[in-house]
Structure 1
């Protein structure tokens, strides 16, 4: 059986790893908003013109993962955010071919709106194409417009989430697909995943209790929060999973040119210089955070500059900070 695990790409015993959350632009900065207006691009639709080159560069520089969101419908009025724009599995299949090292994560697939057989097929395909680098982030969804468009019941999404998890787990294993409560040995999902079991990372609560999540998920992905809140969350997750569960948080970053600039809060993150960022990330590592997915949409500087500085001056300084809850 394969011993490959994409979890090992983001969880290290002596370092908190960094990843990039897509789309990889800075369209939520004042400069980015001005560019969008000048080109007539709708607010909330990302500028993807440099994204592929930036992802290649991040992969070469040692970023541990790239994360793509699942936004099937651009709800321009109520949400105003088109997410990663492309279908998430089409995008990750493409990225499997243009990256070599980083994990490919979904943050997160809205599991109840997709048929679990087709979900299992799509995930297995990305995992096989990438050589076992898929981290399947899953959620129950917080955009009610998607459910009626697909003729699905929004209130029943918690039960559908649990059923889909159980189905995919079986579909990825030898022995045949589940049919009417039994395995049919003549029906199979191809390709087989490169990993023995594709890791599932829950985003949010997914309408489940903590005990079920701890028993059925390999990782947890949370919104940014203050240090006290994150410490409580990491400890609860670590205890519930016997120190085996991976803990991930996002962070919206505006990295200023002045390395000595103090931190100022922005939505879901901070505007600060390099020294304050290293100090903050060190505190997160000591609190038990294994991996940070950095979002640059509010960056006042070009993403290419920030990626280079993070790789040269931030990531090397995270290598000696143990995450106290890491396995």
Structure 2
């Protein structure tokens, strides 16, 4: 049985790791919004023209993960955000072929709107194609419009989520597929994952209690929050999982040219200079946050510049041990 685990790419004993959240553009900055309007591209549809090269660059520079969302339908009225545009498993397979080291994470696949057999097969395929780099973030979904389009009940999504998790875990193991509650040895899903089991990471609460999540998930991905809130969440998650569960959050970043610029809050993150960012990230690391997915959509600087600066001047300094920031 393989001992490869993509969790080891993002969860390190001594440092907090950084990843990148897709779509990898700065389309929410004022300058990019003006360009979008001039080009006729609809509001909410990202600029993907440089994304592949930026993901390759993040891979070469040592970022630990790239994260993508599962948004089947562009709801222009209620959400106004097309997410990563491409089907999440198609995008995962493509990125598996153009990267070598970086973990491929979903944040998150909406389990109740997909048959668990097809999810299990798609995820196993990505895991093999990537050499065991898949982190399967999963959720119950928060977009009610998707459910009636598929003829599904929105209110029962919590129960469907639990059923899907059980089915998928069984489908990845030898012994046959579940049929009417019993495993049929003659039926199998190929390919078998490279990892002994692909890590499941819950995004949000998925309409489950903390005990169930701790027993069935390998990690959790929470919305960005204050230092105090995240410290409380990491402590609770660690206590519930006996320190075994990975803890992940995100941060929307507008990294300014002036390294000494003080922080200014923006939605889900901050506009600030490098020194303030390092200080903030170090405090997250010391609070036992394992991994931060950086979102650059509000960046006023080109994403390529920010990715380079994060790799060179921020990532090497994110110790989980209490340290003093050099002047």
Question: Given the two structures, how large is their TM-score scaled by the length of structure 2?
Answer: 0.98
In 2, Cα distance between equivalents of 1:180 and 1:77: 40
8 Å Cα contact 2:16/2:320 also seen in 1: no
Q: Which residue of 1 aligns with 2:219?
A: 219
1:247 counterpart residue number: 247
**2:258 alignment counterpart:** 258
> Alpha-carbon deviations, 1:266-305, whole Å to 9, x = none?
0000000000000000000111100000000000000000
- Residue 69 (structure 1) aligned with residue 66 (structure 2): no
Aligned to 1:278, what secondary structure does the other structure show?
Answer: helix
Name the CA distance, whole Å, in 1 between partners of 2:320 and 2:153: 48
Moved more, 172-181 or 14-23: 172-181
Report what 1:186 is aligned to. Answer: 186
Q: Distance in 1 between matches of 2:169 and 2:138?
A: 13
Which sections of structure 1, spanning at least 5 residues, go unmatched?
none
Which residue of 1 is the match for residue 199 of structure 2?
Answer: 199
- Paired with 1:252 and 1:115, the residues of 2 have a C-alpha distance of 32
**How many matched pairs?**
323
Distance, in Å, in 1 between the alignment partners of 2:115 and 2:138 is 13
Q: Deviations over 1:125-160 (max 9, x none)?
A: 000100110000000000000000000000000000
CA drift at 1:321? 3.8
> Which residue of the partner structure matches residue 176 of structure 1?
176
CA contact (8 A) 1:16 1:321 kept: no
TM-score, normalising length: structure 1: 0.98
C-alpha RMSD over aligned residues: 1.0
Aligned partners of 1:12 and 1:194: how far apart in 2? 21
Maintained 8 Å contact 1:202/1:219:
yes
With over 3 angstroms needed to count, the CA separation of the structure-2 counterparts of 1:322 and 1:185, relative to structure 1, is farther
Note the 1:276-315 alignment, pairs <5 A. 276-315=276-315
CA–CA distance in structure 1, aligned partners of residues 229 and 314 of structure 2: 24
The CA deviation string for residues 216-252 of structure 1, in whole angstroms up to 9 with x for no partner, is 0000000110011111100000000000000000100
Corresponding residue for residue 84 of structure 1: 84
Q: Can you give the 5+ residue segments of structure 2 that lack an aligned partner in the other structure?
A: none
